[in-house]
Amino acid sequence: MIAQAGNIGDAVRSDCFVRLELKEQGGICVNVRSKVSKLYGNQINKLCREVLKFFDVRHAVLSIEDKGALPFVIAARIEAAIHQLIITDQTYLTSLEDGNSIATPQDHIRRSRLYLPGNNPKLMLNAGIYGADGVILDLEDSVAPDKKEEARILVRNALRSVNFYGAERMVRINQLAAGLDDIDWIANEGVNLILIPKCESADDIHLTEERIQQVKKDKTFPVHLMPIIESALGVQNAYAIASASENVVALAIGLEDYTADIGAQRTNEARESFYARSAVVNAAKAAGKQAIDSVFSDIEDMDALTKNIAESKALGFTGMGCIHPRQISYINQGYAPNDAEIEKAKKIVNAFQIALENGSGVVALGSKMIDPPVVKRAQKLIDMAVLTGKLSKDWREAYVG
């Protein structure tokens, strides 16, 4: 009747290690070891007792070695230990941060998405300040097999309690079928987008959606899907995957697993994955979805990253993953529209606005008719140009076409 959860060691920060021993009598005994005990010891003790009471634990010894953990982390670690010892459907929900119940649109800008290990709270706390369009709390590759249960609870609490400063809140679940169990923990906690790793068929999309619908309480709050293509079979089925549901908003490719699957060595030049990347872009665009490139694994070589981004954008990708904050600014700027693209978009949007002002349902640029999807893409490009500081929000006031 003893359970442990959390992380311990000299390098651990913003986390804690808990040891819970259930007793048959004696009430609750809480032992806290922390450098901030004088300041926060009483609050930590109170929280510990509150969580234990919530789960109706009446007799136990709870020992905590604290390394600066915030309340949502402490609560997650205690709950993880409790779930090892007690069968219960109850979950202790931490406070909801302002903004963490805001939905994102299907066409949300997704140039950059920062991967964060789902069992490392230190990296979650300030992730939003770096300016990534999305923050991914990862439950898959970055979490050790024996820490999966702990990570689910921590990620759930982080979705509720961490201020991500407007970044889209994403979670990469585990490969199906284990990933379906992850959904139970996050579907109702304000997650904007779920990444489905190693997706190989439309059935993976359908299974994911079915699970979301089963557990989702607020059916009006959208949960977007981003399948990740990471195998030769996934590339072959890319269009079926991208078009499997309207909730699929983007199609991503993961090149580490893909190159391993085809027996190739991944290189910075990426010639070995040219076909797969082109196929994923084509499938995504044919289905009307965003195409998102793989992460660039060399976090030291910014010149190589810049070149990779330019080639990626030339292929038709609109964003990519990143594994270090220093990559974010390069990615955001690299996928931002260039001057020629902005000028063309300005002409299209200006012509559309003139048509509206004249009460005309026909939009033309010179002798060429402009379809609504073209106008929409141009407006999206304008929005991105404004977001990245390349265009004034009031650009049209001084525009001469």
Residue 101 lies in a domain: no
For residue 303, give every residue at least 6 positions away whose Cβ sits within 8 Å of its Cβ, in sequence order, or none. Answer: none
Do 186 and 156 meet the contact criterion of CB atoms below 8 Å apart?
A: yes
Q: Are residues 265 and 343 in the same domain?
A: no
Residue 129 lies in a domain: yes
Residue 312 lies in a domain: yes
Q: Are residues 325 and 377 in the same domain?
A: no
Question: What is the pLDDT at residue 15?
Answer: 97
Average pLDDT, the chain: 94
Question: What is the pLDDT at residue 359?
Answer: 78
Residue 295 lies in a domain: yes
Q: Which of 330, 361, 386 is the last residue of a domain?
A: 330
Write out the E strands in 220-372: 224-229, 250-253, 290-293, 319-322, 364-365, 368-369
Asked if pLDDT for residue 382 goes beyond 70, the answer is: yes
Q: Are residues 160 and 186 in the same domain?
A: yes
The predicted model gives 63-68 an average pLDDT of 96
Q: Are residues 277 and 186 in the same domain?
A: yes
Which tens digits make up the pLDDT trace of 71-109? 999 999 999 999 999 999 999 999 999 999 999 999 999
Q: Are residues 290 and 389 in the same domain?
A: no
Asked if pLDDT for residue 238 goes beyond 70, the answer is: yes
How many domains does the structure of the chain reveal?
A: 3
Q: Are residues 143 and 241 in the same domain?
A: yes
Do 186 and 215 meet the contact criterion of CB atoms below 8 Å apart?
A: no
Q: Are residues 343 and 325 in the same domain?
A: no
Q: Are residues 264 and 372 in the same domain?
A: no
Q: Are residues 317 and 343 in the same domain?
A: no
Question: What is the pLDDT at residue 154?
Answer: 98
Q: Are residues 140 and 27 in the same domain?
A: no
CATH number (domain holding residue 223) = 3.20.20.60
Q: Are residues 149 and 195 in the same domain?
A: yes
Residue 102 lies in a domain: no
At what angle are helices 302-315 and 274-286 packed, to 10 degrees? 50
Question: What is the pLDDT at residue 87?
Answer: 94
Cα gap 149→275, rounded to integer Å: 37
The pair of three-digit structure tokens given for residue 182, joined into one six-digit string = 């992850």
CATH number (domain holding residue 66) = 3.30.230.10
Q: Which of 284, 307, 330 is the last residue of a domain?
A: 330
Residue 95 lies in a domain: no
Q: Are residues 60 and 117 in the same domain?
A: no
- pLDDT confidence of 366, banded at 50, 70, 90? confident
Name the residue among 162, 156, 228 with its Cα closest to residue 189: 156
Which tens digits make up the pLDDT trace of 125-155? 999 999 999 999 999 999 999 999 999 999 9
Q: Which residue has the higher pLDDT, 146 or 365?
A: 146
Cα gap 20→85, rounded to integer Å: 9
Residue 49 lies in a domain: yes
Q: Which of 26-40, 197-211, 369-383 has the highest mean pLDDT?
A: 197-211
Asked if pLDDT for residue 288 goes beyond 80, the answer is: yes
Asked if pLDDT for residue 401 goes beyond 90, the answer is: no
Q: Which of 330, 359, 382 is the last residue of a domain?
A: 330
Residue 271 lies in a domain: yes
The predicted model gives 202-224 an average pLDDT of 96
Instruction: Write out the residue range of the structural domain in which residue 117 sits.
Output: 112-330
For residue 273, give every residue at least 6 positions away whose Cβ sits within 8 Å of its Cβ, in sequence order, or none. Answer: 253, 255, 258, 259, 264, 266, 294
Question: What is the pLDDT at residue 197?
Answer: 98
Calculate what percentage of the chain has a pLDDT beyond 70.
99
